[in-house]
Structure 1
């Protein structure tokens, strides 16, 4: 071991810059590979930790989302063979507030489900008995983090918590948050019977038109999934079958990436498999760049140690000993890089998670499985990367070694140049893709077709009475307009299906919908294209409807004015106007038919503040907060700017942009480190040539041009190769968006120029050092 360590240490001392580039380049790349791989593994294994996961399915309706009526479960229990059990899951209409006696109010998530919830999904029980925890009304199971907020370190089971400053819930069990990723996101769960008490609704458990639940099935071992889906479809009444079209059963582990609509399901998290696979591919590119650097630097180092190898052969070293030495040095360098990478990963993971927004279980970082994979990969890569230089050096003749005359044929030069060109290809593709991601997100946020400047949304609480708060806000100096609405862009919408009566004809329609008052339209800057808007928000406009242009296109209607439809028994809603389409969802999704109804319901009070200087804006906001605190002392009030809500609407894309950009820049930096090392080798190999040229009168600029032209040539070749690859990849990514930015030519030009600039900056520093060196130092021994 001592004989192996000595030359490694000696090499570090003699050439510290190149050795550190080799070690840290490999270590830093492994840091990013570990983080990205763990994150992607966490995403791609969502909901695979449940014991019966292979037999659990969610009922999904293509085009209509994952919401199903509450009345479906009892029908499935009675009429659908092959189903062992069924449960319903639903969220709250508004985010609830929990409070203990004398404690501070805490906003948290709550879901409702049937008593069999914990026989479907596996959660570790800390206190109580989850098997019976949901059998009694007004009992609740809470997660450990919520229990700590409410009760500290004290036992929570048997204690009561106040729900929305009113009803009391009894804690029946405490569970751990799931260790694996899950598409269900909640902090507390209570029973369906409790929902009937906390959120009473006469029609929700009787009528098929109320679709507020997700229905999960546990199928028998030999059940036919397709047959079960057909039978469930037949259970729906005929008028709903035409609207639904068909029923799909989605396996639990596939729900997270199913891309189903989640109307009003705020407890549901949806992922994007394409983004996870892209980031996994980026991890592979980072590793590839690091390995290319390692191959180039290591091979160059071994070529410089030819004479040393010749001496070893003269004193009796066999081919096996020399090959083992090459393998050992490579393995030790990899082990050092892995150890360094694990240490850095532990330190930077929280920072990267905070910056990018990506979340995953950090327990995976210290798992035995990860360490085994790292060790196995180290062994495999060490063997593979030692094979060529080890065989080449060990099979050479001692006399040639001592003369430093191992064949430096053109094949080896072509291979090294090819690997460097590959790095530039990857860099250009990553730069182009990163630019496109920024361009698409800017396109999305700037083409929503509604006003988002100086507008805030105040979430209404049980203590914030909508008419009182609206009048109070209007009294504040600086407030321009106030509106009451169930929705603002970035929030979940409800879905509905019914029959439209128009000129004596009936037409099946389905649409997303929310309630808003007359002030909503001018505040948001929505344009009327047909008919009229609500006149003044008075009772004469109650139950009137405004639809969007897509409503007309989708159902092939020329003039919908005067058309009526029913959403509640005994109530007809009349269409009085059509507004221009606006994006109430991300541009990733197409604009859907929309019906805005004047029902008087409201979840938010929208306030438009007159534009002015920051001081006046801040004072107005402070007055708004003062009023909400006074009127709602027992409930935390959520206040958010509309432009922030728009950003939240693109949170998935923003998170992807930050993550992709961070790791792309890191890959480019690692590539630049390798190019720097290769430029050092290139200038050292030609040091005597540079000395002779300078003695003969060559200028510094001529020397720089001579040393840099090869790198420029490789960048040009890389640009030619990378452009069609980037064009194809970027086109495929844009296919995920219903509305997309143009794939401009300047994106590729910018990527090529940036890659060229990085190459010249990296190489020119070392080239300038070589060109300005005293030629006497290079020629003194000639």
Structure 2
């Protein structure tokens, strides 16, 4: 039998069994789409920084677990170690405010400071002009140039950038090509490294009365930059490191003196830095999550293949005589196997249509959910096309071989007689696979419900601190900070405002400020909070002893309960030159992931406040926001007014968990769709085998509900078995997940019960629809069925 005849037979078979073929194609397409999508994500995430021409020789310097190093390190290494060809230092900030060519105030991202050698080391081409040579020059990306200057030549144009709460005029000296989407560093602006002192001043201005000067930031004792070294091709990293260890003693920082230098290959940074302290704004990968996603995608593909096999076997039950006749007429096993393989691979190829839809819809979903940069550029990587070819061919071939061998093992007599393919043992194995389907679904649903419950608890149950109806406004200009008192006086006149207070940070927040004090001749670290008078009362933080700050006095200090107990502190005592004014109950200054640590609360100078908190009744918040924005604009026109709520700030703690909910929900939906398809295939298979039995029962007076009950009973007991299997697994997994939280919910039985009921309901509905159709069929037709 030649290929053209096999092709015609395969097309005819697909068209004659439209419903089962469509279900097979959709189910397999969903599985293929998932494995394509998540595999492409895996390839993309592992391709970061592979664009760099000399990537095998470019390293980032680490010291212990710290990624930031001192200013002189790079230049000293290059000058004293001949094995190093080049270097650059890098720091990337977060948001920046600037004025465009039309003098409009806008906010942009990815503002970086670097040496000019960055472009040579990374292989980034400068399209126009040159890299910034002084602190009043700025180099911008091609997309940034188009965004701000459109058709105007940007060279020598002026950008006014807000640094240290004042606008600096920076001249555009160059335009560079955009960094690739798979680059860990991704700046829109690159300034001269010396300009960073202005940025340091901006971030440290609010700590003036408690910090040391940063004027000597170019010394060995300030660790502000990532340092990259380009080694020559013949050098060994070990030889460079051996010489570098002598630089540890150049700092007075005792901790740094104990930490060895290390070199991290540039292509390893993105996915192999989870245990490092990285404090600059760059793209970061999550290798653990990536592995989990890949495993999940393979499970979904496995389920899809199993479903496809069952559905195809159900379809093949109607063609046993055809195969028997072919075998009796001399067709070889190889010939029949070819026909089944061709049909299977045809379905696999056709499944690329729904798979493509899954990928198209999945790209924006994955990027938004995981904050990735996955795009069509991933198809420029040859492994992507190899993956596409292998998955399609292997999936179609494995499925075809399983079905083909099942058929060819039977004799031509058995096939002509129409003896079914399923034995009792195979039936038990088939139903056990159904249990795995629904067990996976139950585990996923349990995960979604548990995570949602924990997040609701974390976002609404802050320990000993009230977060509701608190509006926060950034005082992001010198005028706003200096007029803090007059601003609060005016805002308190707005209807709906209960009280106001200023602060450097407002808890709960994501920033850890570590403050050191001497205790028994040793320096000890406290979790720090700098705030103004009235803030503790506004947040309803309760005092155990003493009282809140009054008018500003630098030498007043407040501790939390943990600090007081650990260091035996009393109200009225003097601690490191500060008078202990009060002791407050422990409260969560950060997220529920961490335990409350010993905390010190210092008083912030009224003119150095960076944030203003407004406690409201909750009835007039929109009007309060509007009036605040208008009032701020009057005082400081050149400011972007940032207003948000404390509850919004708290939600940012759990962004990762919110992403997990979205992902698990999506996989739960796919799992139940595939489970329904698998169940449908099994039901069709069962009904095919029991068609005559159903007809005989109907003739003998069986009611429709009795036949439906008979058909449902076999399947529902396997769903119950799925729940029994899933319950301990889901309990163990969620208990491990909750271990990430210091303050957490108790696992509730109703979550597991609800997941089981949902699975049972879906199975009951799916089976009942098909059972009803079989039970209401004319018994005469059933008895004639062969």
Q: Structure 2: which 5+ runs fail to align?
A: 202-212
- Pick the aligned partner of 1:715 from 691, 714, 719: 719
- Distance in 1 (alpha carbons) for counterparts of 2:77 and 2:548: 44
Do structure 1's residue 274 and structure 2's residue 292 form an aligned pair?
Answer: no
- Alpha-carbon deviation of 1:657? 1.6
Q: What is aligned with 2:142?
A: 144
Residues 432-487 of structure 1 show CA distances to partners (whole Å, capped at 9, x for unaligned) of 22223223322322333232212222222326522243333233222222222222
SS at match of 1:405: coil
- Distance in 1 (alpha carbons) for counterparts of 2:492 and 2:179: 46
Alignment of 1:120-159 (within 5 A): 120-123=121-124, 125-129=126-130, 133-159=131-157
- Distance in 1 (alpha carbons) for counterparts of 2:756 and 2:350: 35
Alignment of 1:53-202 (within 5 A): 53=55, 55-62=58-65, 66-68=67-69, 70=71, 87-92=88-93, 95-109=95-109, 110-123=111-124, 125-129=126-130, 133-164=131-162, 166-184=167-185, 186-196=187-197, 200=201, 202=214
Q: What is aligned with 1:695?
A: 699
- Alpha-carbon deviation of 1:22? 0.6
- Distance in 1 (alpha carbons) for counterparts of 2:681 and 2:129: 62
Alignment of 1:30-429 (within 5 A): 30-53=32-55, 55-62=58-65, 66-68=67-69, 70=71, 87-92=88-93, 95-109=95-109, 110-123=111-124, 125-129=126-130, 133-164=131-162, 166-184=167-185, 186-196=187-197, 200=201, 202-203=214-215, 205=217, 211-217=223-229, 221-224=235-238, 231=246, 233-237=248-252, 239-241=254-256, 251-252=265-266, 253-254=268-269, 258-259=273-274, 265=279, 267-347=281-361, 349-350=363-364, 353-354=367-368, 359-364=373-378, 368-405=382-419, 408-429=422-443
Q: Assess if the C-alpha contact under 8 Å between 1:25 and 1:670 holds in 2.
A: yes
SS at match of 2:521: strand
- Pick the aligned partner of 2:670 from 650, 662, 666: 666
Q: What is aligned with 2:613?
A: 606
TM-score calculated relative to the size of structure 1? 0.87
Q: Assess if the C-alpha contact under 8 Å between 1:256 and 1:270 holds in 2.
A: yes
SS at match of 1:166: strand
Alignment of 1:625-644 (within 5 A): 625-644=629-648
- Distance in 1 (alpha carbons) for counterparts of 2:444 and 2:193: 49
Q: What is aligned with 1:25?
A: 27
TM-score calculated relative to the size of structure 2? 0.87
Moved more, 355-364 or 287-296: 355-364
Q: Assess if the C-alpha contact under 8 Å between 2:480 and 2:632 holds in 1.
A: no
Q: Assess if the C-alpha contact under 8 Å between 1:46 and 1:183 holds in 2.
A: yes
Moved more, 354-363 or 148-157: 354-363
Q: Assess if the C-alpha contact under 8 Å between 1:307 and 1:402 holds in 2.
A: yes
- Distance in 2 (alpha carbons) for counterparts of 1:675 and 1:324: 28
Residues 200-226 of structure 1 show CA distances to partners (whole Å, capped at 9, x for unaligned) of 564451677755444445567323387
Distance 1:701 1:461, change over 3 A: same
- Alpha-carbon deviation of 1:412? 2.6
- Alpha-carbon deviation of 1:262? 5.8
- Alpha-carbon deviation of 1:517? 0.8
Q: What is aligned with 1:446?
A: 460
Q: Assess if the C-alpha contact under 8 Å between 1:493 and 1:512 holds in 2.
A: no
Q: What is aligned with 2:745?
A: 741
Q: Assess if the C-alpha contact under 8 Å between 2:128 and 2:174 holds in 1.
A: yes
- Distance in 2 (alpha carbons) for counterparts of 1:628 and 1:126: 41
Moved more, 324-333 or 672-681: 672-681
- Alpha-carbon deviation of 1:160? 1.8
- Distance in 1 (alpha carbons) for counterparts of 2:218 and 2:127: 37
Moved more, 135-144 or 406-415: 406-415
- Distance in 2 (alpha carbons) for counterparts of 1:322 and 1:232: 74
- Alpha-carbon deviation of 1:770? 1.8
Distance 1:404 1:83, change over 3 A: same
- Distance in 1 (alpha carbons) for counterparts of 2:559 and 2:74: 33
RMSD: 3.4
Moved more, 83-92 or 273-282: 83-92
Moved more, 444-453 or 227-236: 227-236
- Distance in 1 (alpha carbons) for counterparts of 2:143 and 2:592: 35
- Alpha-carbon deviation of 1:408? 3.7
Task: Name the count of aligned residue pairs.
Answer: 757
